[in-house]
Amino acid sequence: MTKIAKQRVTLFLNPELLKQAKIRAIVEERSLTALIEEALLKYLPKKTTLKKSDT
């Protein structure tokens, strides 16, 4: 089995948003981490490119 590296983070979220996310994770029988990872993967582009400003 392959392990994917994870990094611990601290977030400050609206309490009602966090409550909704926790409930959704329970209903879907998965972790809050998995729910948030999926949401970020859907929201963020597949590849991010940073460009240096010309100023």
User: 29: left (phi > 0), else alpha (psi -120 to 50), else beta?
Assistant: left
pLDDT in tens, 15-37: 999 999 999 999 999 999 999 99
Domain range summary for the chain, segments of one domain joined by +:
13-44
Lowest mean pLDDT across 11-15, 32-36, 48-52: 48-52
Read off the tokens for 54. Answer: 């010309």
pLDDT of the residue at 55:
67
What's the whole-model pTM score? 0.75
Closest CA to 36 of 1, 8, 50: 8
